[in-house]
A and B are shown apart, each in its own frame.
Chain A
Amino acid sequence: MATLTGQMEQNLAGTVALAVAGDEAAFARIIRAHHDDMTRVCFVICGDLDVADEAVQAAWPIVWRKLGSLRDPARLRPWLVSVAANEARQLIRRRRRRSVVELAVGEPATSSVDPAARMADLDLANALARLDPDDRALLALRYVAGFDSTELARATGRSPSGTRARLARLLDRLRSELRDD
């Protein structure tokens, strides 16, 4: 297992090094592995599939330009997701699109056919829409991307404990809004 993990790390480092050197195929491998994760996180932040796509598309050129500054290839995923999340936040702030706050109209098709579950999905979407983009980013990075508090702190520029406190306040608010008592 240790050898396998070592090989995976070596492969990742090799892929990043190749991409830094300008290898398009290596860059495509990185995109293939992470584009979906980035889109999911951006969707939770933006609440709109098109805006999420746009954010991720804006993130890739930044990644291409700055990949050489990534010191530890093992941190590639959190770094990529952070870049995309940041683009999503910026995009939302720039646009202030109405669709971001009126989610019920433009909701993507949900997999749930149960009316109660569908209502719960809409409640969640509306609760998310009422949050500040920074708070949605915090939730997306924590629960969708699975960041730990150190990664969250790095992505948000706060201390790990400050991040936890903010997350706790956010959970309390959502719990109250979603009436989960």
Chain B
Amino acid sequence: MTDRLDFETRLEERLRARAALASRPFDAAGIARQVVAGHGRRRGFGRLEWPSTRPALGRLVVALLLAIALLGAIAGIGALLLERPPLPPAAVSNGWIAYSTDGRTPGSTDTTIGSDIYLVREGVKPRLIAGRDGGKIRNVCPAFSPDGHRLAYGIDGGAGRVLVVLGVDPDAVITDTVRIPVPGPGSTVCPRWASDSQRVAHLDRGIVVVRGLDGSTPAGVAGDPQVADFGLEREFPDPLLSPGRDLIARLSSSGNDCQIVVARPDGTAAHVIPLSFCPFAMPAWSPDGRQVLLLEDVSGRDFTMHAIGVDSPLEVTIVSMVRTNGPRSWPGWGDVTWQPVYR
């Protein structure tokens, strides 16, 4: 590891030295004059000297394409709203949101000063439910059970690895705590739930290990998490499937403009939700499938969590200015979970 860091340091020095060879005198005022004179903002960029028919033709083609796209979008939204099966009334509602202040694996964080887990919901101050003990432990990967009654998370610290399962009622009261030691030195425990909410699983050297809530290690059965459920290969643009499995949402950006694209899982009936900010992660859907959570970097060290409606103009701030553990340490998918509440 030290060799690797040494290499990185030497490479940085060499790259900077190489880049310095490109420094040459330049005339800033001259460049500014040329740019401003040649590229007035109100005119078509560099188009005035072109033969007049080409821009006109180009504009016509662009206008046609835009019209087609607009019709498609309207049809898509209409189809999405009309054909989406109506949600069963009050079948599931949105409870508390749990988040860690750190990325889920040591590989996605540059610092090891511990991390906390909080519960929060709109309009309510975050409640600390797992503290870092003065920086000695990392609390990571909170995951609500499918029935919403329990919250599992991993602890990595001086006392080794532990999988913790908390009973959480709808008022965010912790009703009971189960601590399941995970033997061996491996990577941080990131729990995922079985569909029956009675078993949790974690990865150990790439193998799924299922644990009963009594700490037992039962044989795997249908409904237990698979390796893919741990999202090790997950990338920023990967779409996120809604809880009802009827929609996908993904983040998209062009230049400085960011948006969410919502579509059916087969990519049809897509519609775009423009955003007023550019998020760095979309960690979760709401349990009712009507909102997605977005994380925005607001200072280089702090993030803000927003909930955005996928079929409504809803945009609310769930929690703002959360300090991360370091400038290169950010939570993302797998570090935020939303509690389903069934009635």
Contact = CB atoms under 8 A, between A and B. Distances in A.
A5 interface: no
A28 B38 contact: no
B256 A124 contact: no
A124 B253 CA distance: 33
Interface string B1-24: 001100110111011111111111
A24 B15 contact: no
Nearest to B276: A71
A157 B18 contact: no
Contact of B235 (A144, A159, A175): A159
Contacts of B39: 61, 64-65
Contacts of B255: 66, 69
Contact of B10 (A153, A164, A180): A180
Contacts of A70: 256
Given A40-B23, A108-B21, A161 B107 contact: yes
A80 B280 CA distance: 19
A154 interface: yes
Given A110-B21, A124-B14, A160-B330, A24 B236 contact: no
Interface string A76-95: 00010000000000000000
B222 to A, nearest CB: 30
B23 A160 contact: no
Interface residues of B, number: 55
Contact of B7 (A25, A44, A65, A175): A175
A143 B16 contact: yes
Contacts of A150: 280, 297, 300, 327-328, 330
B11 A39 contact: no
Interface string B26-68: 1011011101101101000110000000000000000000000
A139 B18 contact: no
A48 to B, nearest CB: 10
B277 interface: yes
A180 B7 contact: yes
Contacts of B300: 148, 150
A42 interface: yes
B142 interface: no
Contact of B8 (A22, A43, A140, A171): A171
A144 B20 CA distance: 9
B114 interface: no
B191 interface: no
A99 interface: no
B11 A64 contact: no
B291 to A, nearest CB: 21
B23 A36 contact: yes
A43 B103 CA distance: 33
Given A27-B35, A43-B21, A148 B328 contact: yes
Contact of B237 (A44, A71, A157): A157
A49 B24 CA distance: 10
Contact of B38 (A31, A61, A68, A171): A61
A176 B255 CA distance: 35
9 contacts: A40-B23, A44-B15, A61-B35, A64-B35, A69-B255, A79-B256, A148-B328, A157-B236, A162-B236
Interface of A: 22, 24-25, 27-29, 31-32, 35-36, 39-44, 49, 52, 57, 60-61, 64-66, 68-71, 79, 108-111, 120-121, 124-125, 139-140, 143-144, 148-150, 153-154, 157-162, 164-165, 171, 174-175, 180-181
Given A144-B15, A159-B234, A164-B328, 8 more contacts: A31-B31, A36-B26, A49-B24, A61-B39, A139-B15, A153-B280, A161-B332, A165-B107
